[in-house]
């Protein structure tokens, strides 16, 4: 059953790739007249949507098969959660597309789905028994609801990104274009992370350290990338491997921080290569694809997605989380890093809705908030979850 789930996810990944290609083909396509003079509509968008639906079907097949194989909801570690987040984004797109029929939204959303699933693949994918802290029905209630909310919020991010690419003048160098390039660099860094991790994985790279953990006990850790940041009071045990430049404090999960740094390094190299080849900013590369898009329509999509995703995220990420925390740890709130950033995410999107509805922050301002909000989600999911030691560290 585990092998079946992996195969279903692989098929889903290629269906999302097919959807991306078809949506890209659909953008320059126009309606045309046949020999009888009848107007025929460009159907490529429909084909892309069908491919996306099939991708969701196979993704859900993966989810069910892995649930059966493991005996618990497959959302208990980074591989499972990131994979389900990608699926949640695809589900949100499949629901929203028939309302607006925006092919460009598919072109930007499907690659995000693939990036997240590919990112998940670099983490250990073996099915393991649940640790005691996760042996609760609240696991599936809290985590699945949170992921679904984040998946819908991701549509707001994609639409906001499209709006900015459509409206910004990339011939000018200013705060807006530089800020958008930072966002594009972040996406490129995700690709770099996937590439560098797989390259060293194929090479079988491993470096073992002795170190002192946050409890003051001696422990061992294995790095799968050359150590730029070493563990707290670490000693390299493996010969002919790179020694760290600096050691991390005990509260930092040094191997994961090291991986994050490598993703930035590889992303920088990849970003420079793209700039050299294209001879333009990364955002400007995509601008011709979205010229025909109505900024007002894509702004409306972003707002509607966030308006729907925010209460769902609040329900899963805060309310259900606090109920589970009370059951598991006898307190609703404990200022764990993950809890703090979930609260920051909630407050940010609450501010977004307030500014949009009460202060008239539409268009560009709204788009920037949609992009920043999802960046906060990813920071919480990747950096806080992996690097900072806390009660949610088991998710790594």
- Per-residue pLDDT tens digits for 248-298: 887 787 888 888 889 889 999 999 999 999 999 999 999 988 888 899 999
Looking at per-residue pLDDT, the higher value among 32 and 98 belongs to 98
Q: What is the H or E stretch that residue 335 is in?
A: none
Same domain for 164 and 184, yes or no, is no
pLDDT at residue 334 in the model: 76
Structure tokens given for 44: 């490529």
Q: Are residues 303 and 265 in the same domain?
A: no
Which residues, 6 or more positions from 134, have their beta carbon under 8 angstroms from its beta carbon?
A: 72, 76, 394
Whether 93 and 40 share a structural domain: yes
- pLDDT for residue 273: 94
User: Looking at per-residue confidence, does 130 or 180 come out higher?
Assistant: 180
56 lies in the same domain as 135: yes
pLDDT at 116 over 50: yes
Query: Quick one: pLDDT at residue 42?
Result: 63
Backbone angles phi, psi at 249, to 5 degrees: -70, 165
Q: How many domains does the chain have?
A: 2
**Which residue is it, tokens 């939204």?**
105
Per DSSP, 136 falls in state S
Residue 40: pLDDT over 70: no
Last residue of a domain, one of 245, 279, 313: 279
Measure the CA–CA gap between 94 and 106, rounded to whole angstroms: 9
Q: Is the pLDDT of residue 90 over 70?
A: yes
Residues 154 and 44 in one domain: yes
Structural domain includes residue 65:
yes
Number of Cβ within 10 Å of residue 342's Cβ equals 24
177 occurs within a structural domain? yes
In a domain, 45, yes or no: yes
Q: Give pLDDT tens digits for 306-362.
A: 999 999 999 998 999 888 888 877 788 777 888 888 899 999 999 999 999 998 889
The residue among 145, 124, 66, 212 whose CA lies nearest residue 395 is 124
Q: pTM (2 decimals)?
A: 0.87
Residues 60 and 103 in one domain: yes
Least trusted range by pLDDT, from 25-29, 90-94, 195-199, 222-226: 25-29
- Confidence band, pLDDT 50/70/90 cuts, at residue 394: very low
Average pLDDT over residues 39-44: 62
Give the pLDDT confidence score for residue 28 in this predicted structure. 66
Q: Quick one: pLDDT at residue 32?
A: 46
Locate the DSSP E strands across the chain: 32-33, 39-40, 207-212, 218-223, 229-230, 235-236, 246-247
The confidence band for 137, taking pLDDT boundaries of 50, 70 and 90, is confident
Q: How far apart are CA 271 and CA 186, in angstroms?
A: 9
Neighbours of 206 (CB within 10 A): 12
Is residue 25 located within the same domain as residue 47?
A: yes
Question: What six digits make up the tokens of 332?
Answer: 């609703």
| 284, part of any domain | no
> Domain range for residue 84?
2-170+298-395
pLDDT at 133 over 70: no
User: Tokens at residue 295, please?
Assistant: 């900024």
């Amino acid at each position: 059953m585990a092998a079946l789930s992996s195969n279903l996810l692989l098929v889903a990944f290629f269906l999302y790739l097919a959807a991306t290609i078809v949506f890209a083909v659909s953008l320059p396509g126009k309606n045309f007249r046949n020999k009888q003079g009848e107007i025929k509509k460009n159907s490529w968008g429909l084909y892309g949507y069908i491919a996306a639906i099939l991708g969701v079907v196979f993704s859900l097949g993966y989810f069910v098969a892995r649930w059966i194989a493991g005996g618990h909801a497959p959302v208990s570690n980074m591989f499972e959660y990131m994979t389900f987040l990608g699926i949640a984004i695809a589900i949100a797109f499949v629901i929203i597309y028939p309302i607006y029929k925006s092919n460009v939204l598919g072109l930007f959303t499907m690659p995000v789905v693939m990036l997240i699933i590919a990112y998940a693949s670099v983490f250990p994918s073996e099915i393991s028994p649940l640790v005691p802290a996760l042996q609760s029905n609240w696991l599936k209630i809290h985590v699945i609801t949170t992921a679904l909310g984040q998946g819908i919020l991701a549509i707001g991010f994609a639409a906001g990104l499209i709006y900015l690419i459509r409206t910004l003048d990339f011939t000018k160098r200013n705060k807006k274009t530089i800020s958008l390039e930072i966002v594009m660099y972040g996406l490129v860094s995700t690709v770099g992370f996937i590439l560098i991790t797989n390259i060293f994985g194929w090479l079988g790279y491993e470096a073992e350290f002795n170190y002192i953990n946050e409890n003051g006990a001696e422990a061992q850790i294995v790095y799968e990338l050359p150590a730029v940041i070493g563990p707290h009071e670490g000693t390299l045990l493996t010969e002919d491997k790179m020694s760290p430049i600096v050691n991390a404090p005990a509260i930092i999960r040094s191997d994961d921080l090291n991986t994050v740094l490598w993703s930035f390094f590889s992303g920088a190299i990849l970003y420079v290569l793209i700039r050299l080849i294209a001879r333009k900013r990364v955002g400007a590369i995509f601008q011709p694809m979205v010229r025909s898009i109505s900024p007002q329509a894509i702004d409306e999509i972003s707002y509607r997605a966030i308006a729907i995703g925010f209460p769902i995220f609040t329900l899963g990420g805060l309310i259900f989380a606090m109920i589970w925390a009370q059951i598991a740890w006898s307190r609703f709130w404990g200022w764990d890093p993950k809890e703090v950033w979930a609260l920051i995410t909630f407050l940010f999107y609450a501010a977004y809705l307030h500014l949009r509805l009460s202060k008239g922050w539409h268009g560009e301002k709204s788009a920037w908030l949609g992009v920043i909000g999802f960046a906060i989600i990813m920071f919480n999911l990747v950096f806080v979850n992996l690097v900072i030691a806390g009660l949610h560290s088991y998710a790594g």
